[in-house]
Amino acid sequence: MLPSSQANGPGLRWVLWLQGCNLACPGCFNPETHPFNAGQRMEISSLAKSILDAQEHIEGISISGGEPFIQAQELAVFLEMIRQQSRLSVLIFTGYSLNELGSIPSASRVLQLTDVLIAGRYVQSRRIASGLIGSDNKKIHLLTNRYTREDILASFEAEVHIQIDGGILLTGIDPLQW
């Protein structure tokens, strides 16, 4: 997770990368999020509390992965906690199409709690890496009227975070260009 980002959606956002993905899109920027037995386990209520404690300083939450909808039931519970106690926006990146999400249990609950969904497999040969869109087949679904397509496309492509331990975190839709 990253508690402060301007390259993962409109405004200052808390970013969560959920662990686990079986889509295996060639050229994926986040392959370290694919194994199901890696990452850091967190209690949903503890994670929600951390974000809610920071809500004065952020506009919303961006959720990526791995594949967030592999944990759709847990994600729905988490987003319900956030929505009940804040006005934070929710943006989710998924490799599934909106149509495919229809067959995933709890996905409809998640979508009801989401402002923007960026959906579709990453296709390396169609890479554009601009405005939160990795490849030109991906679709922006504005599920509420909170944002416009222009708001999404105006997002920064990349940012660099230097961590306290000296590590470097590259994030955004096109951090490899940096």
Domain of residue 79, CATH code: 3.40.50
C-alpha neighbours within 13 Å on the C-beta side of residue 15: 22
Report the share of the chain in percent with pLDDT over 90: 75
Q: What is the pLDDT of residues 63-99, one digit of tens each?
A: 999 999 999 999 999 999 999 999 999 999 999 999 9
In whole numbers, what is the pLDDT of the chain averaged over residues?
A: 92
178, pLDDT greater than 80: no
Gap between the Cα atoms of 60 and 76, Å rounded? 16
61, pLDDT greater than 80: yes
Gap between the Cα atoms of 143 and 115, Å rounded? 5
Report the share of the chain in percent with pLDDT over 70: 97
User: What distances in angstroms separate CA 80 from CA 34, 104, 111, 151, one per listed residue?
Assistant: 25, 18, 11, 24
* Mean pLDDT, residues 138-151 taken together: 97
- pLDDT at residue 139, as a whole number: 97
State how many domains the chain has: 1
* Mean pLDDT, residues 113-142 taken together: 94
50, pLDDT greater than 60: yes
Domain enclosing residue 117, as ranges: 2-177
- What does the DSSP assignment read for 50-116? HHHHTGGG-SEEEEEES-GGGGHHHHHHHHHHHHHH---EEEEEESS-HHHHTTSTTHHHHHHT-SE
User: What distances in angstroms separate CA 52 from CA 92, 108, 119, one per listed residue?
Assistant: 18, 23, 26
> Is residue 176 very low, low, confident or very high in pLDDT (cuts 50, 70, 90)?
low
The structure's pTM equals: 0.93
- pLDDT at residue 150, as a whole number: 96
- pLDDT at residue 129, as a whole number: 87
Among the residue ranges 66-75, 157-166, 169-178, the one predicted with the least confidence is 169-178
* Mean pLDDT, residues 109-129 taken together: 96
Torsion sign over Cα 6, 150, 27, 30: positive
Instruction: Please name which of 18, 8, 30 lies closest in space to residue 132, comparing C-alpha atoms.
Output: 8
- pLDDT at residue 165, as a whole number: 87
- pLDDT at residue 75, as a whole number: 98
Gap between the Cα atoms of 147 and 75, Å rounded? 22
Gap between the Cα atoms of 92 and 127, Å rounded? 19
75's CB contacts (< 8 A; 6+ apart) are 18, 63, 68, 69, 106, 110
Strand partners, 119: 94, 139
Gap between the Cα atoms of 117 and 108, Å rounded? 12
> Is residue 161 very low, low, confident or very high in pLDDT (cuts 50, 70, 90)?
confident
